[in-house]
Chain A
Amino acid sequence: MRKYIFKRVIAAIVTVWVLITVVFFLVRLMPGDPFTNPKLTPEVRENMESYYGFDKPLIVQYGNYMVNLLKGDFGYSMKFTNKTVAGIIGETFPFSADLGIRSLVLAVSIGLVLGIVSARNRGKGIDFFCVIVAVLGTSIPDFIMGAVLQYGFGIKWGLLPVARYEGIEYTILPACALAFYTLASVSRIMRASMLEVASQDYIKTARSKGLGEFRITAKHQIRNAIMPVMTVMGPTVASVLTGTFVIESIFAIPGMGKHYVDSVSNNDYSMVLGMTLFYGVFLIICNLVVDILYGVADPRVRIGER
């Protein structure tokens, strides 16, 4: 197990390094640069370029960036010149994280319940309902869900605030919009895996021991069926986080997603790099944690690795 974790951590570090390098050179390939502004005189421009070290060869800039990064310095934003990249991330990330966690909790809890209920009542009305929810959920992109919810609950019926992020009632619509897709896929996976587990020998054994249906489902079936859901949690966190890109702009939430898209279009090199790195590392860590937890939770994986 320790060897496995060690290998995974090394792989994660290499991935992060590749990510930084690829993004560093990709941003430089973008047409235009952060100082494309007709108001700047050539002298100011030159000063700015030397201030940010753009007059040096690219490889030196890369080296400097990496050294600063190792010291924990993300540099200054090139558009909001008086702010550090780390500062902007620190300001905006809490909003995205808050929204993301709310919708994840919503999606996973309801998704699991739907999947379990529908598998337990296979072929009945409630199963049909859950399957329809799952198919609909995976067919509606989150920005459309956002727009529809905003129109229905916010504008037409005036039940909930339409935009901004200032209190609990403001979080409901964006969190629901973001959660729907994940909810649907979690319930779909959970249903399929519950049905598969139901025909396994250990369930038959439990039944022949005379255990009650509730105990069989709760203690044996769910515990085993939840594994496939856990494997998709890494990518799910990724999709929820990137989903916030659009949901934030629809609901005018001052989070990180909107800033990311803006800084890409502004050619704000240091912001793009810093935020990409932040997203990337965050997701890589999520995947790592999920994989390790998976090993811990499933004895078969644990023994297989030894």
Chain B
Amino acid sequence: MESISRPSLSFWQDAWRRLKKNKAAMFGLTLIILYGLLSILAPMFSQYTQSQMDASARSQMMSSAHWLGTDSTGRDLWVRIWMGGRVSLSIGLIAAVVNMCVGAVIGGLCGFYGGKLDMIVMRIVDILYGIPSLIITILVVMVLGKGIAPLIIAMCVVGWIGTCRFVRGEVYRIKEQDFVLAAKVLGIPDFKIIVKHIIPNILGMLITNLCMAIPGAIFQEAFLSYVGLGVTPPNCSWGVICKEGIAYLRNSPHQVLIPAFFVCTTMLALNLLGNGLRDAVDPKLRGTE
């Protein structure tokens, strides 16, 4: 008997197989891993520290002593870039993950149970959605004081709304489907239905969303640091380095262009990876070449 079949792959195996074929996404993934590793390792193996000034080596171009040159107070940019990378990347990651979790839980509960809770939360979400998020973020940073933790909290105050709306819609759609009804009829408790049947169905899209949210969070951090409301010394971030460099744009443009390069390539890498993930987890494309 002739059998027509394809090798059975789990959803994640299939997604990973398709992601691997996407060269742009793999480039993005490699770059992100590289930047992450460099942020962790590079400062440890350098003779300089991030706030060590050297009056004899101010605003220098790249050289063998200072791989990426120095800034206006003679601090080594190679070390500052990777110390800033630690801050920028982790703020981006933490803010995006927190927003995703909060949004997914609230949106999931609203979508699954509906009713009064859903109505009340959705009214609140609608109102918050209408308020320009940047304004709230700026004000919350001012109230909590500058620094890394307040920055993350401020970005999370309104940041979960997008995920919440999206998850609510998806859960609402999925819970109407037959397999959820079947599970209910079999007497499976709500909690187990959510964890075993609903979450796996939206996980792919959630991860894609997360990947797209990280560049947004890094961008926001850079913006806030840039207007002077973000990370404070001795910590630095890519936004802070850009801001410090811009005063010297005329004579030593590398002080802006180098941090700008790393911000842009990180955002580029995450965007490419996000696009690739979106295609990879799209159920419509499942099993296709």
Contact = CB atoms under 8 A, between A and B. Distances in A.
Interface of A: 11-12, 14-15, 18-19, 22-23, 26-27, 29-31, 135-136, 138-141, 143-144, 147-148, 150-151, 155, 238, 241-242, 245-246, 249-250, 261, 264-265, 272, 276, 279-280, 283-284, 287
Interface centre among A23, A143, A265, A276 (most CB of B within 10 A): A143
Contact of A139 (B215, B222, B229, B246): B215
Interface stretch (B64-72, B199-207, B252-260): B252-260
Given A242-B134, A264-B142, A249 B227 contact: yes
A276 B135 CA distance: 7
A195 to B, nearest CB: 14
A93 to B, nearest CB: 15
11 contacts: A18-B131, A139-B265, A139-B271, A147-B249, A151-B249, A151-B253, A151-B257, A242-B134, A245-B134, A261-B227, A287-B130
Contacts of B228: 261, 265
A250 B219 CA distance: 17
Contacts of B136: 22
A222 to B, nearest CB: 24
Task: Give 5 nearest A-B pairs by CB, closest first.
Answer: A139-B268, A15-B130, A139-B267, A144-B260, A29-B143
Contacts of B131: 15, 18-19, 22, 280
Nearest to A16: B130
Q: Summarize B's interface: helix, strand, loop or mixed.
A: helix
A16 B188 CA distance: 44
A151 B267 contact: no
A14 B127 contact: yes
Contact of B219 (A27, A135, A141, A284): A141
B256 A147 contact: yes
Contacts of A150: 249
B189 interface: no
A249 B134 CA distance: 17
A284 B249 contact: no
B139 to A, nearest CB: 5
B242 A143 contact: yes
A30 B249 CA distance: 34
Nearest to B142: A30
Interface residues of B, number: 37
A261 B246 CA distance: 18
A279 B135 contact: yes
Contacts of B257: 148, 151
Given A140-B267, A261-B228, A279 B260 contact: no
A36 to B, nearest CB: 14
A65 to B, nearest CB: 16
A140 B267 CA distance: 7
Nearest to B131: A19
A135 B132 contact: no
A246 B246 contact: no
Interface string B222-258: 1100111100000000000010001001100100110
Interface in B89-144: 126-127, 130-132, 134-136, 138-140, 142-143
Contacts of A29: 143
Contact of B260 (A27, A147, A264): A147
